[in-house]
Amino acid sequence: MNARRPAEGAETPRSTYREALREGLREALRGDERVFLMGEDVGRYGGCFGVSLGLLEEFGPDRIRDTPLSESAFVGAGIGAALGGLRPVVEIMTVNFSLLALDQVLNNAATLLHMSGGQLNVPVVIRMTTGAGRQLGAQHSHSLEGWYAHIPGIRVLTPATVDDARHMLAAALDDPDPVVLFEHGSLYNEEGALDTAIRSVSLDSAAVRRAGTDVSVITYGGSLPKALAAAEELAGDGIDAEVVDLRSLRPLDDATVTESVARTHRAVIVDEGWRSGSISGEISARITEQSFYDLDAPVQRVCSQEVPIPYARQLEEAALPQPASIVAAVRQAVA
């Protein structure tokens, strides 16, 4: 990447999560003629969530391709393009629609390298919006990234910060294998400082977003701001929470998680997915397997209620992890 360090005294640039994603796409399109974006409404409409706004005018319809309403067809076309030597970025509007293309992801993208004896890489990046909290009803409010993290042969990323939104795409496009990138819908309008000195990001490493000594709060994606808000509230009561942003769900960075638990001796996992069969259960199991003797209390989990996500705002808020429920779980862990 051609990122430059700001001049001394210069103001640190700020960006929304949406703008950071757009700049990541723009940089990828400018830097490699093999890269193109395809999906529903990514062109003239600018993307359902405005991420690709203006890119059609800049790069033209061969590079920014509107597709028919058939997820199986256009994800399959993206896989074929990747096999043919291109670097497609496939946008699926929301995670629930990705189920219509799950056959393509699970049985083709994730397996072709193995089934071809290492001859066929599939360098496709599949982006989709995930998560609830925006009153979109039960069919458009899923958090299914844990399902995808179950699949060998793909990488699953969950950028939660402006910097990761800006820079993860380039690293994903450099990966010779399929990458599925989940963008939480509640983050698009979030604004933050953009570190222009970053030249590359790791796709394998979690990040400690807040250091602490009393409890490890482990989370990802749209739940990171809630975990940080909970940590600030807890600090007022003398509880020093460390917040770990997983960033990648496959592979999971066990080392950062276990190092954090070794420091704090307690763990609370925050996951917007449903509790049963969730990624939080996998993380809890790994902590138990690898850090059992470091724990001074049982691992706590804060997940969505096991109901279809309600439309009504108060009910939706009650169904999802919130700072208050994270605070309550931490208090139980440190009691």
For residue 114, the cross-strand partners are none
Q: Which of 27, 40, 71, 183 is catalytic?
A: 71
User: Three-state SS for 2?
Assistant: coil
User: Three-state SS for 250?
Assistant: strand
For residue 268, the cross-strand partners are 217, 300
35: phi then psi, degrees, rounded to nearest 5: -80, 135
Give yes or no for a contact between 64 and 36, defined as CB atoms under 8 angstroms apart.
yes
In the block, residue with structure tokens 């000594």: 213
| Distance, CA of 36 to CA of 90 (rounded, Å) | 8
Residue among 165, 156, 158, 128 nearest 39 (CA): 128
Give yes or no for a contact between 224 and 163, defined as CB atoms under 8 angstroms apart.
no
Question: 267-274 and 300-304 as β-strands: parallel, antiparallel, unpaired?
Answer: parallel
How far from chain centre, in Å, is Cα 221?
5
In the block, residue with structure tokens 């276990």: 258
Q: Which of 19, 140, 145, 316 is catalytic?
A: 140
Give yes or no for a contact between 318 and 305, defined as CB atoms under 8 angstroms apart.
yes
Known catalytic residue at 167 = no
Which letter does DSSP use for residue 106 in this model?
Answer: I
Known catalytic residue at 265 = no
Concatenated DSSP letters of 108-171? IITTHHHHTTT------EEEEEE---SS--GGG----HHHHHT-TT-EEE---SHHHHHHHHHH
Contacts of 204 (CB under 8 A, 6+ apart): 248, 251, 253
The packing angle between helices 254-264 and 279-291, to 10°, is 60
CA angle 174, 250, 29 (to 5 degrees): 25
**Catalytic machinery residues:** 71, 140
